[in-house]
Structure 1
Amino acid sequence: MTSIALQARRVTTAVGEFYGLGVDTAVATVTRPFHWREFVDQSWFIARVSLLPTIAMSVPFTVLVVFTLNSLLIEIGASDLSGAGAGLGTVTQIGPLVTVLVVAGAAATAITADLGSRTIREEVDAMEVLGIDPVQRLVVPRVLACTTVAALLNGVVCAIGLAGGFTFSVFLQNVDPGAYVGGVTLLVGLPELLLSEVKAALFGLLAALVACHRGLTVHGGPKSVGDAVNETVVFSFAALFVVNLVLTSVGLSVSRL
């Protein structure tokens, strides 16, 4: 019973610290000075480590969804609707999901490793002694950079998904190209695109907050940094899939109004 209570206390403390970091980050975001150079450097770094994995993952995801959907539509004689299905699946689900996988698996882990290394070398403590706020100096630029890059990556995934779906449907499954292009906007419009971008931005925001929290709360030696990196991936995936479920439900409810 004591062990269970101790574990529950640790979990509660960690959740409280995470929300505290989120509040501190929100306050520091609107507090001067804003470290633009750090923001640009982190944005470039995250884009560099995430772009190729994003492209590599978006193609098989698109092919899988489009192939399955087209097989069903061809069986019922509705292959002209393949563009509508590909557009809906790519914009509302494939784009945000691929974004969350790449951001959590590549960008967030790099942030955790960086901040964790700084923590065990006591660089963060030294910054606090010098009167420098680590949240404003380290966390805010990384969170905003991850949020921005995630939204941009979602646009890349959507573009690759629609182009890949067109290529696969037209050249391999003999779908009429005009019908595909004409059907893309049948179920997808500006509201669905905006919801997709909001999803991706929130995914980047949460993944970065989880990464910063785990990096700044590392205790011990180098092994603890590796453990924090692994925990970042697990926690980010769990949180982001829950957020995706909630946002999808809200978006469907709003679209019916």
Structure 2
Amino acid sequence: MNLNPTHLRASLDSALSQVGNIFALSNDVLRKTFKRPFQSRELIEQSWFVANVSILPSALVAIPFGAVVALQTGSLIKQLGAESFTGATSVLATVQQAAPVVTALIIAGAAGSAVAADLGSRTIREEIDAMEVLGIDPIQRLVVPRVLAMMLVAVLLNGMVSVVGIAGGYFYNVLLQGGTPGAYLASFSALAQLPDLWVGEIKALMFGFIAGVIAAYKGLRPGRGPKGVGEAVNQSVVITFMTLFFVNLIVTLVYLQLVPAKGA
């Protein structure tokens, strides 16, 4: 395959420019979050919208996800002869990894795409330009409430997904793998600890922020016409997914280095 160095350089410059712009928008969102007047009504409306489109898919995905984690870990632990730790490993995998990732994917796919489409439609209709002409900051008025709503709902959904995932893992382990309910529940305290829950919530908070900022960035810079809005929505979802998996890796590595395993 013949790769043109000029095209590669242009693509790299465009990618780096987008990364810089996303960081700049993140900084604006953080600064203008504390700027008055705060858009509390918009925050409530957006939180309700994000929760409305995310709760049911999150619950439906969490059940099979928790079951898969329980089945896989239970099968592996059974081969190692440590069946008494099945509950602890399932809970750790669900709380630390599965729940934040599932929550982030649902938030980015359902709510993030809707945010990108909404802001993109406003942009091509020149509503964003009209707001700037009237002296209204579109970042403070539109972007900040949407990002905060996605962060808030992500944290709440993470708790729900964790509970549903653990319940699904318990159900499949006890009924399908012949596990003991008492041993499954008693093993929670063997390996799990409170920081495991905190890191899951922190991940969900960070993932909600990232999904909101990227969706807003793509929505504020769509191509021309409805086709450009559709492309911006697709790009926002893809970029968010790639970023979330990378950030999840970094946060997990840092957490495992800073927080020693229980009993270590």
The answer as to 2:42 corresponding to 1:55 is no
Conserved? CA contact 1:59–1:161, under 8 Å: yes
Match for residue 24 of structure 2? 20
After the TM superposition, which residues 53-202 of structure 1 pair with which residues of structure 2 at under 5 Å, given as runs?
A: 53-202=57-206
Per-residue Cα deviation, 1:3-23 (whole angstroms, up to 9, x for no partner): 333333322322222111111
Q: Distance in 2 between matches of 1:139 and 1:204?
A: 13
| Unmatched tracts of structure 1, length 5 or more | none
- What is the one-letter code of the residue matched to 1:57? V
The answer as to 2:55 corresponding to 1:44 is no
Shift of 1:71: 1.3
Conserved? CA contact 2:68–2:169, under 8 Å: no
DSSP-derived class of the 2:187 partner? helix
Question: What TM-score comes out, normalization by structure 1 length?
Answer: 0.97
Shift of 1:167: 1.1
The alpha-carbon distance between structure 1 residues 112 and 78, as it changes in their structure 2 partners (threshold 3 A), is same
Q: Distance in 1 between matches of 2:97 and 2:19?
A: 28
Conserved? CA contact 1:54–1:153, under 8 Å: yes
Q: Distance in 2 between matches of 1:139 and 1:8?
A: 27
- What is the one-letter code of the residue matched to 1:119? T
Shift of 1:2: 3.6
After the TM superposition, which residues 203-242 of structure 1 pair with which residues of structure 2 at under 5 Å, given as runs?
A: 203-242=207-246
- What is the one-letter code of the residue matched to 1:7? S
- What is the one-letter code of the residue matched to 1:190? L
The alpha-carbon distance between structure 1 residues 2 and 166, as it changes in their structure 2 partners (threshold 3 A), is closer
Number of residue pairs aligned between Structure 1 and Structure 2 = 257
Q: Distance in 2 between matches of 1:78 and 1:134?
A: 56
Conserved? CA contact 1:87–1:187, under 8 Å: no
Shift of 1:68: 1.2
Q: Distance in 2 between matches of 1:166 and 1:131?
A: 55
Q: Distance in 1 between matches of 2:17 and 2:67?
A: 43
The alpha-carbon distance between structure 1 residues 14 and 73, as it changes in their structure 2 partners (threshold 3 A), is closer
Conserved? CA contact 1:112–1:229, under 8 Å: yes
Conserved? CA contact 2:33–2:144, under 8 Å: yes
Conserved? CA contact 2:62–2:161, under 8 Å: yes
Q: Distance in 2 between matches of 1:62 and 1:132?
A: 45
Conserved? CA contact 1:87–1:185, under 8 Å: no
The runs of at least 4 consecutive aligned structure 1 residues that moved more than 4 Å come to none
DSSP-derived class of the 1:256 partner? coil
Q: Distance in 2 between matches of 1:112 and 1:247?
A: 26
| Unmatched tracts of structure 2, length 5 or more | none
Shift of 1:239: 0.6
- What is the one-letter code of the residue matched to 2:30? A
Q: Distance in 1 between matches of 2:254 and 2:195?
A: 12
- What is the one-letter code of the residue matched to 1:150? A
Q: Distance in 1 between matches of 2:171 and 2:6?
A: 60
